[in-house]
Amino acid sequence: MATESTSETENSENLEESPYYTGQARFEFLVERISTRVRNKIYKSFAQLAKPTPELKVLDVGVTSNRRSDSNFFEACYPHKEQITAVGLEDASFLSEMYPGLTYIQTDAMQLPFADRSFDIATSWAVIEHVGSRERQRRFLSEMARVSRKLFVTTPNRWYPVEFHTVLPFLHWLPPSQFRQILKGLKKDYFAEEANLNLLSERDFIELLPAGMKVTTAHAHLLGPVSNLVLWAEWPD
Protein backbone atom coordinates (compact mmCIF):
# COMPACT_ATOMS: atom_id res chain seq x y z
CA MET A 1 0.00 0.00 0.00
CA ALA A 2 2.84 2.41 0.82
CA THR A 3 4.33 1.88 -2.64
CA GLU A 4 1.02 2.67 -4.35
CA SER A 5 0.62 5.85 -2.28
CA THR A 6 4.13 7.03 -3.12
CA SER A 7 3.58 6.33 -6.82
CA GLU A 8 0.34 8.30 -6.87
CA THR A 9 1.98 11.23 -5.04
CA GLU A 10 4.93 11.30 -7.41
CA ASN A 11 2.63 11.13 -10.40
CA SER A 12 0.54 14.03 -9.06
CA GLU A 13 3.68 16.10 -8.53
CA ASN A 14 4.87 15.29 -12.04
CA LEU A 15 1.54 16.42 -13.46
CA GLU A 16 1.77 19.73 -11.64
CA GLU A 17 5.33 20.31 -12.84
CA SER A 18 4.73 19.30 -16.46
CA PRO A 19 3.79 22.18 -18.78
CA TYR A 20 1.89 19.66 -20.88
CA TYR A 21 -0.78 19.28 -18.17
CA THR A 22 -0.82 22.86 -16.85
CA GLY A 23 -3.75 23.90 -19.02
CA GLN A 24 -5.78 20.91 -17.84
CA ALA A 25 -5.08 21.25 -14.11
CA ARG A 26 -8.50 22.58 -13.10
CA PHE A 27 -10.30 20.00 -15.21
CA GLU A 28 -7.86 17.11 -14.81
CA PHE A 29 -10.38 14.52 -13.60
CA LEU A 30 -12.91 15.42 -16.30
CA VAL A 31 -10.31 15.54 -19.09
CA GLU A 32 -8.88 12.19 -18.02
CA ARG A 33 -12.32 10.55 -17.99
CA ILE A 34 -13.31 11.99 -21.35
CA SER A 35 -9.97 11.05 -22.90
CA THR A 36 -10.25 7.48 -21.61
CA ARG A 37 -13.79 7.18 -22.93
CA VAL A 38 -12.80 8.42 -26.39
CA ARG A 39 -9.73 6.19 -26.52
CA ASN A 40 -11.88 3.19 -25.65
CA LYS A 41 -13.97 3.94 -28.74
CA ILE A 42 -10.87 4.36 -30.87
CA TYR A 43 -9.35 1.12 -29.60
CA LYS A 44 -12.48 -0.72 -30.74
CA SER A 45 -11.87 0.68 -34.22
CA PHE A 46 -8.27 -0.52 -34.03
CA ALA A 47 -9.33 -4.02 -32.99
CA GLN A 48 -11.81 -4.23 -35.87
CA LEU A 49 -9.24 -3.11 -38.44
CA ALA A 50 -6.13 -4.85 -37.13
CA LYS A 51 -7.74 -8.09 -35.91
CA PRO A 52 -5.03 -8.79 -33.28
CA THR A 53 -3.46 -12.24 -33.23
CA PRO A 54 -0.61 -13.69 -31.15
CA GLU A 55 1.64 -13.47 -34.23
CA LEU A 56 1.05 -9.80 -35.09
CA LYS A 57 4.12 -7.63 -34.37
CA VAL A 58 3.10 -4.14 -33.25
CA LEU A 59 5.12 -0.96 -32.77
CA ASP A 60 3.62 1.80 -30.60
CA VAL A 61 5.28 5.16 -31.21
CA GLY A 62 5.23 7.94 -28.63
CA VAL A 63 4.64 6.33 -25.24
CA THR A 64 5.02 8.58 -22.20
CA SER A 65 6.49 8.43 -18.71
CA ASN A 66 3.17 9.68 -17.33
CA ARG A 67 0.96 7.14 -15.56
CA ARG A 68 -2.41 8.83 -15.91
CA SER A 69 -5.11 6.31 -16.87
CA ASP A 70 -5.45 7.73 -20.38
CA SER A 71 -1.68 7.54 -20.99
CA ASN A 72 -0.15 4.51 -22.72
CA PHE A 73 -3.71 3.36 -23.25
CA PHE A 74 -2.82 0.95 -26.05
CA GLU A 75 -0.44 -1.04 -23.85
CA ALA A 76 -3.19 -1.56 -21.29
CA CYS A 77 -5.74 -2.74 -23.85
CA TYR A 78 -3.77 -4.82 -26.33
CA PRO A 79 -4.09 -8.53 -25.46
CA HIS A 80 -0.70 -9.76 -26.73
CA LYS A 81 1.78 -7.72 -24.70
CA GLU A 82 4.74 -9.86 -25.81
CA GLN A 83 4.28 -8.62 -29.37
CA ILE A 84 4.40 -4.91 -28.47
CA THR A 85 7.50 -2.82 -28.98
CA ALA A 86 6.90 0.61 -27.43
CA VAL A 87 9.14 3.61 -28.15
CA GLY A 88 9.29 7.16 -26.83
CA LEU A 89 11.58 10.05 -25.95
CA GLU A 90 10.79 9.83 -22.23
CA ASP A 91 11.86 7.09 -19.84
CA ALA A 92 8.88 4.74 -19.82
CA SER A 93 10.87 1.63 -18.92
CA PHE A 94 8.29 0.88 -16.21
CA LEU A 95 6.06 -0.40 -19.03
CA SER A 96 8.20 -3.53 -19.35
CA GLU A 97 7.55 -4.29 -15.68
CA MET A 98 3.89 -3.34 -15.80
CA TYR A 99 3.26 -5.47 -18.90
CA PRO A 100 5.59 -8.50 -18.89
CA GLY A 101 6.75 -9.44 -22.37
CA LEU A 102 6.53 -5.89 -23.72
CA THR A 103 9.73 -4.37 -25.14
CA TYR A 104 10.44 -0.71 -24.41
CA ILE A 105 13.09 1.32 -26.26
CA GLN A 106 13.84 4.96 -25.48
CA THR A 107 14.51 6.54 -28.87
CA ASP A 108 13.65 9.32 -31.30
CA ALA A 109 10.63 8.54 -33.49
CA MET A 110 12.24 10.50 -36.32
CA GLN A 111 15.01 7.89 -36.52
CA LEU A 112 13.57 4.56 -35.50
CA PRO A 113 16.25 1.89 -34.91
CA PHE A 114 14.50 -0.80 -36.94
CA ALA A 115 14.89 -2.31 -40.39
CA ASP A 116 12.30 -1.70 -43.09
CA ARG A 117 9.02 -3.60 -42.56
CA SER A 118 10.07 -4.91 -39.15
CA PHE A 119 6.48 -4.70 -37.87
CA ASP A 120 3.05 -5.67 -39.11
CA ILE A 121 1.45 -2.53 -37.67
CA ALA A 122 2.74 0.74 -36.26
CA THR A 123 0.40 2.74 -34.03
CA SER A 124 0.56 6.21 -32.54
CA TRP A 125 -2.05 7.71 -30.25
CA ALA A 126 -2.40 11.50 -30.27
CA VAL A 127 1.32 12.13 -30.67
CA ILE A 128 1.66 13.61 -34.15
CA GLU A 129 0.24 16.99 -33.08
CA HIS A 130 3.22 17.32 -30.70
CA VAL A 131 6.15 16.62 -33.03
CA GLY A 132 6.41 20.11 -34.52
CA SER A 133 6.16 21.53 -38.04
CA ARG A 134 4.25 19.97 -40.93
CA GLU A 135 7.56 18.74 -42.30
CA ARG A 136 8.38 16.99 -39.02
CA GLN A 137 4.88 15.52 -38.91
CA ARG A 138 5.43 14.18 -42.43
CA ARG A 139 8.77 12.67 -41.41
CA PHE A 140 7.13 11.13 -38.34
CA LEU A 141 4.59 9.26 -40.48
CA SER A 142 7.16 8.37 -43.14
CA GLU A 143 9.41 6.75 -40.56
CA MET A 144 6.50 4.77 -39.11
CA ALA A 145 5.55 3.68 -42.64
CA ARG A 146 9.12 2.63 -43.36
CA VAL A 147 9.29 0.14 -40.49
CA SER A 148 5.77 -1.30 -40.79
CA ARG A 149 3.27 -2.60 -43.31
CA LYS A 150 0.25 -0.80 -41.84
CA LEU A 151 -0.35 2.34 -39.79
CA PHE A 152 -2.99 3.22 -37.22
CA VAL A 153 -2.56 6.86 -36.19
CA THR A 154 -4.85 9.17 -34.22
CA THR A 155 -4.99 12.90 -33.50
CA PRO A 156 -7.54 15.36 -32.10
CA ASN A 157 -9.68 17.05 -34.74
CA ARG A 158 -8.72 20.69 -35.16
CA TRP A 159 -12.35 21.54 -35.95
CA TYR A 160 -13.77 20.18 -32.70
CA PRO A 161 -15.18 23.15 -30.71
CA VAL A 162 -12.85 22.65 -27.72
CA GLU A 163 -9.07 22.38 -27.94
CA PHE A 164 -8.29 19.54 -25.55
CA HIS A 165 -4.78 20.50 -24.42
CA THR A 166 -5.63 24.05 -23.39
CA VAL A 167 -9.33 23.37 -22.69
CA LEU A 168 -10.17 26.54 -24.62
CA PRO A 169 -13.16 26.77 -26.99
CA PHE A 170 -13.04 28.02 -30.60
CA LEU A 171 -9.79 30.01 -30.41
CA HIS A 172 -7.89 27.21 -32.16
CA TRP A 173 -10.07 27.80 -35.25
CA LEU A 174 -8.17 31.02 -35.84
CA PRO A 175 -5.11 30.96 -38.10
CA PRO A 176 -2.33 29.20 -36.14
CA SER A 177 -0.22 32.34 -35.79
CA GLN A 178 -3.13 34.21 -34.18
CA PHE A 179 -4.01 31.29 -31.93
CA ARG A 180 -0.43 31.06 -30.69
CA GLN A 181 -0.29 34.78 -30.03
CA ILE A 182 -3.42 34.52 -27.87
CA LEU A 183 -1.96 31.56 -25.99
CA LYS A 184 1.12 33.60 -25.16
CA GLY A 185 -1.13 36.38 -23.89
CA LEU A 186 -2.90 33.82 -21.69
CA LYS A 187 0.47 32.62 -20.31
CA LYS A 188 0.09 29.26 -22.04
CA ASP A 189 3.57 29.56 -23.50
CA TYR A 190 4.22 25.83 -23.83
CA PHE A 191 1.35 25.21 -26.24
CA ALA A 192 1.99 28.52 -28.00
CA GLU A 193 5.04 26.89 -29.59
CA GLU A 194 4.55 24.97 -32.84
CA ALA A 195 7.09 22.45 -31.58
CA ASN A 196 4.66 21.44 -28.81
CA LEU A 197 1.25 21.75 -30.47
CA ASN A 198 0.41 21.77 -34.18
CA LEU A 199 -3.20 20.77 -34.77
CA LEU A 200 -4.45 18.90 -37.83
CA SER A 201 -7.61 18.80 -39.88
CA GLU A 202 -8.51 15.57 -41.66
CA ARG A 203 -7.23 16.96 -44.96
CA ASP A 204 -3.93 17.98 -43.34
CA PHE A 205 -3.63 14.54 -41.78
CA ILE A 206 -4.16 12.61 -45.02
CA GLU A 207 -1.78 14.83 -46.99
CA LEU A 208 1.07 13.95 -44.62
CA LEU A 209 1.01 10.25 -45.51
CA PRO A 210 3.62 8.79 -47.87
CA ALA A 211 2.46 8.50 -51.48
CA GLY A 212 1.20 5.09 -52.50
CA MET A 213 -0.42 4.06 -49.23
CA LYS A 214 -4.07 3.00 -49.25
CA VAL A 215 -5.94 5.11 -46.68
CA THR A 216 -9.10 4.54 -44.66
CA THR A 217 -10.37 7.21 -42.27
CA ALA A 218 -12.43 6.79 -39.12
CA HIS A 219 -13.79 9.20 -36.54
CA ALA A 220 -14.52 9.33 -32.82
CA HIS A 221 -17.39 11.57 -31.74
CA LEU A 222 -17.85 13.42 -28.47
CA LEU A 223 -21.26 14.96 -27.79
CA GLY A 224 -21.97 14.98 -31.51
CA PRO A 225 -19.05 16.52 -33.43
CA VAL A 226 -15.96 14.61 -34.54
CA SER A 227 -13.44 14.90 -31.70
CA ASN A 228 -10.67 12.63 -32.97
CA LEU A 229 -9.38 11.58 -36.36
CA VAL A 230 -8.09 8.10 -37.17
CA LEU A 231 -6.02 7.06 -40.18
CA TRP A 232 -5.59 3.43 -41.15
CA ALA A 233 -3.04 3.23 -43.95
CA GLU A 234 -1.41 0.24 -45.60
CA TRP A 235 1.07 -0.47 -48.32
CA PRO A 236 -0.26 -2.36 -51.37
CA ASP A 237 0.50 -6.08 -51.40
For every residue of 207-229, DSSP letters joined together read HTSPTT-EEEEEEEESSSSEEEE
- Residue 12: per-residue pLDDT: 41
pLDDT in tens, 172-198: 999 999 999 999 999 999 999 999 999
In the structure, what pLDDT confidence band is assigned to residue 23 with cuts at 50, 70 and 90?
low
Q: What is the total count of domains within the chain?
A: 1
Alpha helix segments (H runs only) across the chain? 2-17, 19-22, 28-50, 73-77, 94-98, 134-147, 176-185, 202-207
Q: What's the CATH code of the domain at 126?
A: 3.40.50.150
What lies within 8 Å, CB to CB, of 114 at 6+ separation is 59, 147
**Could you report the per-residue pLDDT of 116-174, keeping only the tens digit for each?**
999 999 999 999 999 999 999 999 999 999 999 999 999 999 999 999 999 999 999 99
Domain enclosing residue 136, as ranges: 2-234
155: β partners = 229
pLDDT computed for residue 212 by the predictor = 97
Residue 7 reports pLDDT greater than 70: no
Q: What pTM, to 2 d.p., does this model score?
A: 0.88
